[in-house]
Chains A and B, each alone.
Chain A
Amino acid sequence: MSEYPVTPDEDEAEDLAPLTLPLDAWHREQGGRMVEFAGYMMPVQYEGIMAEHLWTRENAGLFDVSHMGQVYISSEDGITADLEAAIETALPIDLSTLKLGAVRYSLLLDEEGGILDDLMVTRWKTGFYLVVNGATKWDDIGTLRELLADEVTLNHLDESALLALQGPKAFAALERHAKGEYPLSALTFMKGGQFTLGGVDAWISRSGYTGEDGFEISIPGEAAEDIARLLCGEPEVKPIGLGARDSLRLEAGLPLYGHDLSPETSAVDADLKFAVNKRRRSEGGFPGAERVIADFTDGTARRRIGLTLEGRMAAREGAKIFNENQEVGIVTSGGFSPSLQHPIAMAYVDAALVAEGTALTIEMRGKRLDAKVAAMPFVPHRYHR
Chain B
Amino acid sequence: MTRYFSEDHEWIEVEGDLGTVGITDYAQGQLGDITFVELPAEGSTVGKGDSVSVVDSVKAASDVYTPVSGTVAEVNGALADEPELVNTQAETGGWLFRVTLSDAAELGALMDEAAYKSFVESL
- Mark A residues whose CB is within 8 Å of B: 1-7, 44-45, 48-51, 53, 243, 246-247, 311-314, 316, 335-336, 338, 343, 365
Query: Is B54 an interface residue, CB under 8 A from the partner?
Result: yes
Interface pair A3/B31, CB less than 8 Å apart: yes
Q: CA A221 – CA B17 in complex, angstroms?
A: 61
Interface pair B32/A49, CB less than 8 Å apart: yes
Interface pair B83/A48, CB less than 8 Å apart: no
Question: Taking A50-B33, A365-B38 as contacts, is the C-beta distance between A243 and B61 under 8 angstroms?
Answer: no
Q: CA A4 – CA B61 in complex, angstroms?
A: 6
Interface pair A1/B32, CB less than 8 Å apart: no
Interface pair B36/A365, CB less than 8 Å apart: no
User: Quick one: which of B33, B36, B62 contacts A3, CB cutoff 8 A?
Assistant: B62
Query: Is B56 an interface residue, CB under 8 A from the partner?
Result: yes
* Top 9 A-B pairs, shortest CB-CB distance: A336-B35, A50-B33, A312-B36, A6-B60, A49-B58, A3-B62, A1-B9, A1-B8, A313-B36
Instruction: List the A residue with the shortest CB-CB distance to B35.
Output: A336
Query: Is B23 an interface residue, CB under 8 A from the partner?
Result: yes
Interface pair B32/A45, CB less than 8 Å apart: yes
Question: Taking A49-B59, A243-B59 as contacts, is the C-beta distance between A1 and B36 under 8 angstroms?
Answer: no
Interface pair A1/B64, CB less than 8 Å apart: yes
Instruction: List the B residue with the shortest CB-CB distance to A51.
Output: B33
Q: CA A15 – CA B9 in complex, angstroms?
A: 29
User: Quick one: which of B35, B56, B63, B83 contacts A1, CB cutoff 8 A?
Assistant: B63
CB distance from A133 to the nearest CB of B (A): 19
Interface pair A335/B59, CB less than 8 Å apart: yes
Interface pair A3/B60, CB less than 8 Å apart: yes
Query: Is B18 an interface residue, CB under 8 A from the partner?
Result: no
Tally of A-B residue pairs with Cβ under 8 A? 74
> Which residues of chain A are near B35, meaning CB under 8 Å?
312, 314, 336, 343
CB distance from B120 to the nearest CB of A (A): 13
Q: CA A211 – CA B60 in complex, angstroms?
A: 22
Query: Can you list 23 residue pairs at the A/B interface with Cβ under 8 Å?
Result: A1-B23, A3-B31, A3-B60, A3-B61, A4-B60, A6-B59, A6-B60, A45-B32, A49-B57, A50-B32, A53-B58, A243-B32, A311-B36, A312-B83, A313-B38, A314-B35, A314-B56, A314-B61, A316-B61, A338-B33, A343-B35, A365-B38, A365-B61
CB distance from B123 to the nearest CB of A (A): 13
Q: CA A339 – CA B16 in complex, angstroms?
A: 44
User: Quick one: which of A5, A53, A246, A313 contacts B56, CB cutoff 8 A?
Assistant: A313
> Which residues of chain B are near A343, meaning CB under 8 Å?
35-36
Q: How large is the interface on B (under 10, 10 to 19, 20 to 34, 35 or more residues)?
A: 20 to 34
CB distance from B110 to the nearest CB of A (A): 14
> Which residues of chain B are near A312, meaning CB under 8 Å?
35-36, 56, 83
Q: A313-B36, A314-B36 are in contact. List 6 more A-B contacts (CB 8 A).
A: A1-B8, A5-B60, A51-B33, A335-B58, A335-B59, A365-B54
Query: Is B97 an interface residue, CB under 8 A from the partner?
Result: no
Q: CA A51 – CA B33 in complex, angstroms?
A: 9
Among B55, B63, B64, the one with the most A-chain Cβ atoms within 10 Å of its Cβ is: B63
> Which residues of chain A are near B10, meaning CB under 8 Å?
1
Interface pair A247/B60, CB less than 8 Å apart: no
Question: Taking A365-B38, A365-B54 as contacts, is the C-beta distance between A2 and B32 under 8 angstroms?
Answer: no
> Which residues of chain A are near B8, meaning CB under 8 Å?
1-2
Q: CA A141 – CA B61 in complex, angstroms?
A: 35
Q: CA A1 – CA B25 in complex, angstroms?
A: 13
Q: CA A313 – CA B54 in complex, angstroms?
A: 10
Interface pair B62/A2, CB less than 8 Å apart: yes
CB distance from A18 to the nearest CB of B (A): 19
Query: Is B95 an interface residue, CB under 8 A from the partner?
Result: no
Q: In B6-61, which residues have CB < 8 Å from any A CB?
A: 8-10, 23, 27, 30-33, 35-36, 38, 54-61
Q: CA A311 – CA B55 in complex, angstroms?
A: 14
CB distance from A250 to the nearest CB of B (A): 10
Among B10, B58, B64, the one with the most A-chain Cβ atoms within 10 Å of its Cβ is: B58
> Which residues of chain B are near A338, meaning CB under 8 Å?
33, 58
> Which residues of chain A are near B33, meaning CB under 8 Å?
48-51, 338
